[in-house]
Structure 1
Amino acid sequence: MQHDTKPQKSTLALFAREERLLPVSLFAAAAFYAYGDTFAACLSHPVGLALVFAALFAIILGSVLSVVRHADELADRLGEPFGTLILTLTITTIEVVAISAVMFHGDNNSTLVRDTLFAVIMIILNGMVGLSLLLGAWRRPEQRHNLQGANAYLGLIVPLATLSLVLPEFQPAAYGPAISSLHQTVLVFMSIVLYGTFLLLQTGRHRVYFTQRNSREDHGPQHAPSAYPLLVHVMLLFAYMAPVVYLVDHLAKPIDYLVETIRAPAALGGVIMAVLVATPEAISAVRAAIADRLQRAVNIFLGSVLSTIGLTVPVMLAISHLTGHTITLGLGRSEMVMLILTLAVSMITFASGRTNLMQGSVHLTLFITYLLLILEG
């Protein structure tokens, strides 16, 4: 009997160690449910504001990282592109919940969707891509990816980003800061149809576009396989998602306090939301690039941007229509220049199917420029 129980105890101990954040996240959700008003009263004091914000951000980020960890395991078992699709859809769900929570808590958050979308694009296409290409090329002259897959992503990212963030700024002045109803209808319809068509392409007859033949990605997972059944990972993914959805509503209060009471830069709320949802995918993409699995990294960061624009925008426009909250999507002049420049450089970077050190350096330079623009604002 002892011979049978030791492996079981070892498995339980490993499970408890790997999932130690889950009870912390559930306890935090219970604490804010019981004492949410008490914690909210602490926001008027700098120390209380810092502690509440830091605790919530750390717990939510840790839980999202756990979601990504289980999504990565599903990716290894299901293969590309289904695994990456699960990851991007999960993160997009968290993003929509986070943006909605912050938007509904403040009076001056009409630009939050725009700021978050722009921040996600800058963080992923400049910061994440730059770091991934730079570290990936540090130990090898070049890395390869499937050119057809990158073109499929960018072929949708460029028009959807332009229609969502650039065109609204050139509407007739009579519509004010909000886009017209016709523009909203066209944007929602285009986003849903194009993203749905892309999913059919990605998971159907053109699935090969999103894999790289004769690469390390075709030789199984790059880490020790999990001992848990597939269903366990699915259940744990949703178990971590539940407290995140609840806690992010409380994170909206310190963010709203920072922007509206302390008068922090208006884009700060969007940057915080973007960091929250982009960090886990950034870690996965950087690890993949370092392990010479560039195709996996490309699927992550381009898929993340596409799902953010193609899914978040129509969902948030629908929420705006149902709740009566105004959404401003058009970027300012400097942000518009950065967006167009980023999209153009990204098209050049992925145009050959090969990447190198110089391309990573260019993207990181653009990311630093974006950070400087935030500080000036």
Structure 2
Amino acid sequence: MNRPSWTTLAPIVAIVALVPAWFAHPEGVVLGLLAVLLVGAVLAAVHHAEVVAHRVGEPYGSLVLAVAVTIIEVGLIVTLMVTADKDASGLARDTVFAAVMITVNGIVGISLLVGALKHHLAVFNPEGTGAALATVIALAVLCLVVPSVTTSQPGPEFSGVQLAYAAIASLTLYGMFVFTQTIRHRDFFLPVEHGQHTPTVLSSGGGDSFEHEPVDLDEDGHADPPTDRAALASLGLLVVSLVAVVGLAKIESPAIESGVAALGFPQAVVGVIIAMLVLAPETIAAVRAAARNRVQVSLNLALGSAMASIGLTIPAIAIASIWLDGPLKLGLNQLQTVLLLLTAAVAILTVVPGRTKPLQGGVHLVLLASFLFLTIAP
């Protein structure tokens, strides 16, 4: 009889530990053990999301992790805004902005660097990636920059009507992109080979395949594709993992806030920590894909997460703000706006050629480091 793998046990143990911890106030060693379980649940979520993604195929698979990340992000933001002792009116802005910077600079940067170093050039489809980047930039400016220059409400806030419009516009843009990615121009978001700018899709009756590629598309030793039973089991365990991640992160959040305050860091660092936590599955999956010379999958994951982080999180927070007390500050300050616009300009230049050297990955990673440094020392 085969023993259950750690990816099966980790989410189950995490959810079992979450129940008593939710009604208690763990400290010290117990809090440390819960942090270990939190990391295990995140890694398990990566595995099960990849199994489901592999079963449904690209580019649908990239949406699985993007939606999963958004669920975690919204859950953390809302729970922290409700329970935080300090002013949390800017938490949604800080978390969403951090998610954009981490995905567009961090995940994209490390994926391009790994892909280019291992395979000499990181090759991807500029049509699909450019469409994704354009949507991310439009969402980021509309939801994070515009609130700082509107005049209906004092401060970096939307009025009620403006917030409703931003939420509807965000959902519209996200829906249009998903339609483009999964139905209208699906081929623009499929992995490409070196020397190509568009994938060669062969009609096989049972799905899409690529010329000269091995049958094991993910090269991880798993059955290709997984059975329906295995995919459904992973889907269930993915849901359990996500619930465990949100719950355990909620329990760990007071310690995170206390640690940030003890170090004398700005409150925006809490948003960065939340974003780094929820984007851990995307980062791991993207690096794995880049190492297998499937950089397009990495970029789908990165930009899809950035898009979902804005296009789905902002509408969810807008609805939640009906019941939340206090203002909802979404507008970026001048420093953050400059970093966002610099990131957008560099990302456009990176995407246009459809292939990159290690240099471009390094440039994005330096921008990420600059964002992290200037968040701590503004």
Do 2:163 and 2:318's aligned partners in 1 also have CA atoms closer than 8 Å?
A: yes
Q: TM-score, normalised by structure 1?
A: 0.87
2:332 pairs with 1:313: no
Residues in 2 aligned to 1:277 and 1:95: alpha-carbon distance in whole angstroms: 6
Cα 1:162–1:153 shift into 2, 3 Å: same
Counterpart of 1:130, as a letter, is G
Name the structure 1 match of 2:21.
32
Matches within 5 A, 1:52-91: 54-91=32-69
Give yes or no for contact 2:149–2:156 (8 Å, CA) kept in 1. no
One-letter amino acid of the counterpart of residue 230, structure 2: P
Relative to structure 1, the CA distance from residue 217 to residue 179 in structure 2 (aligned partners, 3 Å threshold; closer, same or farther) is farther
Rate the CA distance shift 1:358–1:260 in 2: closer, same or farther, 3 A. closer
Aligned equivalents of 1:111 and 1:198: distance in 2? 28
Corresponding position: 1:169 with 2:148: yes
Work out the CA distance in 2 between the residues paired with 1:217 and 1:104: 50
Change (3 A) 1:321 1:262: farther
Aligned match of 2:240: 239
Indicate the SS of the match to 2:266: coil
The question of whether the paired residues in 1 share the 8 Å contact of 2:42 and 2:245 is answered with yes
Give the 3-state SS of the residue equivalent to 2:322 in structure 1.
helix
Q: CA RMSD in A?
A: 2.2
2:329 alignment counterpart:
328
Quote the residue 1:373 is aligned against. Answer: 374
What one-letter code is carried by the residue in structure 2 that aligns with 1:272? I
Matched, 1:97 2:75: yes
TM-superposed CA distance for 1:62, in Å, is 2.1
Report whether the alignment pairs 1:178 with 2:179.
no
- 1:131–1:364 contact (8 Å) kept in structure 2: yes
Compared CA separation, residues 17 and 169, structure 1 to 2 (3 A): closer
Q: Which residue number in structure 1 is paired with residue 277 of structure 2? A: 276
1:120 aligns with 99
- Is 1:143 aligned to 2:122, yes or no? yes
Q: 1:119–1:270: 8 Å Cα contact kept in structure 2?
A: yes
Partner of 1:3: none
Is the contact between residue 73 and residue 233 of structure 1 (CA under 8 Å) also seen in structure 2?
A: yes
Contiguous gaps of at least 5 residues in structure 2: 192-198, 201-209
Describe the superposition over 1:302-340 as per-residue Cα deviations: whole angstroms up to 9, x where unpaired. 111011011111111111123234211111111111111
Helix, strand or coil for the counterpart of 1:221? Answer: coil
Q: Could you state the TM-score of these two structures normalised by the residue count of structure 2? A: 0.87
Residues in 2 aligned to 1:283 and 1:123: alpha-carbon distance in whole angstroms: 13
Report percent identity of matched pairs.
Answer: 35
What's the CA shift for 1:218?
8.0
> Which one-letter code corresponds to 1:235 in the other structure?
G
> How many residues are aligned here?
355
CA displacement, residues 3-47 of structure 1 (integer Å, 9 cap, x when unaligned)? xxxxxx03xx1x24442313430232133034x13x2xx4xxxxx
Q: CA-to-partner distance for each residue in 1:52-75, whole Å, 9 max, x for gaps? A: 664444322321221121111111
Determine if the alignment matches structure 1 residue 345 to structure 2 residue 346: yes
Structure with greater helix percent = 1
